[in-house]
Structure 1
Amino acid sequence: MRTVSITEPFDHPALFYRDEQEYLAGTVPFVRDALDAGDPVAVAVPGPNLALIRDELGERAAEVHLLDMTRAGRNPGRIIPRVLRAFADSHPGRRARIIGEPIWAGRTEAEYPACVQHEALINLAFQGREATILCPYDTTRLDASVLADAYVTHPTVIESGTQADSSAYAPEALVARYNQPLSTPLGAVSMVYTAGTLPAVRQQATRWAADLGLGEHRLDDFELAVAELTTNSVVHAGGEGTLRIWAEDQHVICEVHDSGLLDDPLAGRRLPPREQRGGRGLLLVNVVADLVRVHSTPALGTTTHVYFHR
């Protein structure tokens, strides 16, 4: 495989593959080379692909941190803090080598904007950090628009064994392009909240979620997400906001809207220093939810949709 030289500490190539043979040819040597160099290696890909890599590695699979991305990365918003940075930061002073496949055939239309924003934000989250993250893309099952976005989010692309620079690389522009307005159905129940009504709103929202079919084992997570988002509104966005809840397909969705502006692209995806007080609200929401979508502009304020599978 011909490769371009790495001029930055962080390397983030996309791997385009057409079949199992190309998948293994692009991933397994990556893992073996890293292991031979003594670098820590993680593989976070969908279950069937994880099995392919594990089988091909044989006994050496025990040396690799293996994760099923359909579980660990169901919500794209938690992949950077809980998968990628969590692994890299657990090996300080060493180059982490990671295979991460956050976009696969079967991702929903609602999930995709969060997925592609995640891919773009990896570059910011790892800026200056010694790491390599290889992101596979199935060219036979993913739409052409998805592959076009991969050129925008990755500085280099590997295809048919050749790695080349991407002339379309512009991750910041793509984050802005997918900052899309979020719609609310007419049948959603709603309430306005202020500092004095936060406990009552949290309890009422949890009752509504239960009525809409959210399982008892998820209600605590749902209540935590509502509490964090509404508290953020009160503290950082003018002291009030509006909460709406509805069911859609297999999810209960909670919307929180306020007049504030969320201008930090890594909000909810960055692990704050241990000594820092606060700043973990949106991160906690990303951890417990199945999907988080955010739209924020100076004119319209911030709308957050949080999905919980029923």
Structure 2
Amino acid sequence: MITELAQFDHPGLLYTTRQEYLRGTTGFARSAVAAGDPVLVAVPGPNLSVLREALADLGAAITFADMAADGRNPGRIIPGVLLAFAAQYAGRRVSIIGEPIWPGRSDVEYPACAAHEAMINAVFAGRDAAILCPYDASGLDRPRLHDAWRTHPVMIVGGSRRPSPWYGDPYRTAENFNQPLPDVPDRAGVWHYTEPSDLAAIRRFVSARALAAGLSADRADDLTLAANELAENTLRHTGSGGRISVWPEPGLLVCQIDDHGHLADPLAGRIPPAARTEGGRGLILAHELCDLVRIHARPDGTTIRVHIRL
């Protein structure tokens, strides 16, 4: 629900021990259930098992999700986890424990994770909701912990809430993670496209590369569909064509779209379009189908790189 009186609370929770983690998360969940809120707990596997056991007495009052699966692509978390849960309880306050950043997150994934944390503040502004984000202060490095202070208006340290002196405008903070991507390697297959009639050739090109790299037929279809949607976006929104590149990396297949359009909206792909709206689903679909989506938007062009695990 979005109203002028609604209050959105987005604290970060720093913890160093299992006891601190349980005290902060279970206290939040139990208070929310007592207040009548629907509660979602979306944390990575090991922590999920701990919280399932600690909150077992609350039964169906709590919904659980494995963030390492449902949120393995950080760009999928806002539309596919947070907003999807809130939509089930329209008109009611919801409370969520979301842990999108943990020590196992790779350097490739991290900028998308941090941008996600910043943009939560913009997406949920004016909504009647609370989202608690735990951070493992014993396992995360100092720069990532500092980013937690930048992306959360309030931090909980040692059980006490304190305003973050480093919190700022979420759009400006997210822009810090709009980082250039490494160059496309020479071994990549490359295809240029300029017309809608080129889309069939793009699909054949991506599918052949995906199958040759060892993707299953279903996952090759997922990558082909995502690439087609992104290329179609190029043709719809720019006055020129683009370039698609595909190459393997250890354990991954990578596909990149480069064009001369400017993706000005940092929330693109994070807010599902209205049911009757035409278009606007290409990037949403890429987030749904792929294991990671990285975007670098520049005034003179946009690069979208998607990853699928082999």
Q: 2:110 corresponds to which residue?
A: 112
The superposition leaves residues 142-162 of structure 1 with CA deviations (integer Å, 9 ceiling, x where unpaired) of: 011000000100000001000
Map residues 32-51 of structure 1 onto 2, 5 A cutoff: 32-51=30-49
Aligned residues, how many?
A: 303
* Separation in structure 1 between the aligned mates of residue 247 and residue 115 of structure 2, nearest angstrom: 25
The superposition leaves residues 130-180 of structure 1 with CA deviations (integer Å, 9 ceiling, x where unpaired) of: 100000000000011000000100000001000000010023222111111
Confirm or deny: 8 A CA contact 2:149 2:164 kept in the other structure: yes
Q: How many angstroms does 1:109 deviate by? A: 0.8
Moved over 6 A (4+): none
* Separation in structure 2 between the aligned mates of residue 172 and residue 280 of structure 1, nearest angstrom: 22
SS at match of 2:266: coil
The normalised TM-score by structure 2 is: 0.96
Confirm or deny: 8 A CA contact 2:171 2:266 kept in the other structure: no
Q: 2:229 corresponds to which residue?
A: 228
Which of 134, 142, 145 aligns to 1:144? It is 142
Q: 1:309 corresponds to which residue?
A: 309
Q: How many angstroms does 1:8 deviate by? A: 6.3
Give structure 2 stretches of 5+ with no counterpart.
Answer: none
Q: Which amino acid aligns with 2:118?
A: A
Which of 7, 10, 13 aligns to 2:8? It is 10
Q: 2:26 corresponds to which residue?
A: 28
Query: Is residue 51 of structure 2 the alignment partner of residue 53 of structure 1?
Result: yes
Map residues 1-310 of structure 1 onto 2, 5 A cutoff: 9-170=7-168, 171-183=170-182, 184-194=184-194, 195-299=196-300, 301-310=301-310
Q: Which amino acid aligns with 1:107?
A: R
The superposition leaves residues 263-301 of structure 1 with CA deviations (integer Å, 9 ceiling, x where unpaired) of: 1111011011112121111001000100000001113x0
Q: How many angstroms does 1:57 deviate by? A: 1.3
Q: Percent identity?
A: 48
SS at match of 2:165: coil
The normalised TM-score by structure 1 is: 0.96
SS at match of 2:55: helix
Give structure 1 stretches of 5+ with no counterpart.
Answer: 1-6
SS at match of 2:226: helix
How big is the alpha-carbon RMSD for the aligned residues of Structure 1 and Structure 2?
Answer: 1.1
Q: Which amino acid aligns with 1:71?
A: A
SS at match of 1:223: helix
Q: Which amino acid aligns with 2:176?
A: R
Confirm or deny: 8 A CA contact 1:17 1:159 kept in the other structure: yes
* Separation in structure 2 between the aligned mates of residue 61 and residue 23 of structure 1, nearest angstrom: 20
SS at match of 2:279: coil
SS at match of 2:293: strand
Confirm or deny: 8 A CA contact 1:54 1:61 kept in the other structure: no
* Separation in structure 2 between the aligned mates of residue 45 and residue 14 of structure 1, nearest angstrom: 14
